[in-house]
Amino acid sequence: MSRAEAAPFAYEGLDRVIHEKARLGLLTSLIAHPKGLAFGDLKQLCGLTDGNLSRHLQVLQEAGLVEIRKGYDGNRPQTTCGLTAAGRSRFLDYLAVLERVVRDAAEAAERAPEAAGRPQPA
């Protein structure tokens, strides 16, 4: 018996680097922008302070999920942050597990619609 069968709700694929709430928002913003996003835009989209943005980007960068890119906005040099190819792929794998969590829980809630604590027929 595989571990997934033995512990169907262990959700080992929920990578903690990605699962953290602020980082989940950052990765969702970045997957929509393959050209990368300026720090100010990321901060605003995710409702983060400068300190939190920089802390979480560092975790993502150390894990190889995002990279800082030097580019130009017209003639003006601009630094942006973008997903790496490995980051995109790991985030898509994570999303497949997250989708399974949502589906498992929705199915469970539907099969057991009674309020908690009420006795059920066996």
Q: Which residues bind a second copy (CB under 8 A)?
A: 3, 6-12, 14, 16, 19, 21, 24-29, 31-35, 44-48, 67, 69, 82-85, 87-88, 91-92, 95, 98-99, 101-102, 104-106, 108-109, 111-112, 114-120
Query: What SS3 state is found at 66?
Result: strand
In angstroms, give the least distance from the CB of 57 to a second copy. 14
Judged by beta carbon, residue 76 or residue 118, the one nearer a second copy is 118
Judged by beta carbon, residue 8 or residue 54, the one nearer a second copy is 8
What is d(CA 18, CA 31) in angstroms, rounded to the nearest whole number? 13
Give every strand in the sheet of 66-73, ordered side by side.
Answer: 37-38, 76-83, 66-73
Judged by beta carbon, residue 62 or residue 64, the one nearer a second copy is 64
Q: For residue 82, what are the β-bridge partners?
A: 67
What is d(CA 77, CA 69) in angstroms, rounded to the nearest whole number? 11
In angstroms, give the least distance from the CB of 58 to a second copy. 18
Which residues lie closer than 8 Å to 107 by C-beta, 6 or more apart? none
DSSP state, residue 118: S
In angstroms, give the least distance from the CB of 79 to a second copy. 15
In angstroms, give the least distance from the CB of 87 to a second copy. 7
